[in-house]
Amino acid sequence: MPNIINKHIEFSTPWFKLIKKTVTGMSGANTSEEYYSILPDDYVSILAVTRDLKVPLVRQYRPAIEDYSIELPSGHVDQNETPEQAIKRELLEETGYMALEIELLGTLSPDTGRKSNRLWCFFSSKIEKHAEVGDNEGIIPELYSLSGIRSLMDKGSFDHALNLAVFTLAELKGKISFTK
């Protein structure tokens, strides 16, 4: 089994650290190689469904892709917060919906090649409108039906891979029947 013989922070940003690891035994007994990975806080996403089967999504400008995107309510887990608390906070802040019950669909690796954090995927069919949220720091909430999201995916307009992974888990766990 490979062995990590050295690990240090090479560069820090307010949102993630760039870690450099020296690993032995990756491609042979006497090899030593250097790997770079990103360490952000854990990430949470929720597929939530209202009583009349609408899904709250958020539209926002994303500097990384230099374009707007439509996505599931998501965010990072803050210090002194559980993933459950984080996703309830994000859902409320971004969409005005309060989750009365949430369910963990599973946790995933957002990128086994480069990221060391985890993605916590949640589902809720018990949400209630708590506040009207307009444009909250550039994040605009919108409601879509599941078939509407499917159309967006078909057109390539709902294309955040980490969101699509949540749909796979939701189908796997029998929460939605998205692709029928």
What is the binding site for a second copy (CB under 8 A)?
Answer: 1-2, 4, 10-11, 13-16, 18, 21, 23, 26-28, 35-38, 40, 61-66, 69, 71, 106-116, 119, 137-138, 150, 153-154, 156, 159-165, 167-169, 171-172, 178-179
Rounded to a whole number of angstroms, the minimum distance from the CB of residue 148 to a second copy is 14
Residue type at position 161: A
Contact 72, 46 (CB under 8 A): yes
Which one-letter DSSP state was computed for residue 132?
Answer: -
Rounded to a whole number of angstroms, the minimum distance from the CB of residue 170 to a second copy is 9
Contact 57, 71 (CB under 8 A): yes
Please give the order of strands across the beta sheet that includes 16-24.
3-12, 16-24, 32-40
Taking the least distance from each CB to a second copy, the nearer of 54 and 115 is 115
Which one-letter DSSP state was computed for residue 179?
Answer: T
Taking the least distance from each CB to a second copy, the nearer of 98 and 116 is 116
Rounded to a whole number of angstroms, the minimum distance from the CB of residue 138 to a second copy is 5
Three-state DSSP state, 140: strand
Taking the least distance from each CB to a second copy, the nearer of 65 and 131 is 65
Rounded to a whole number of angstroms, the minimum distance from the CB of residue 100 to a second copy is 26
Taking the least distance from each CB to a second copy, the nearer of 98 and 153 is 153
Cα angle: 153, vertex 170, 15; to 5 degrees: 75
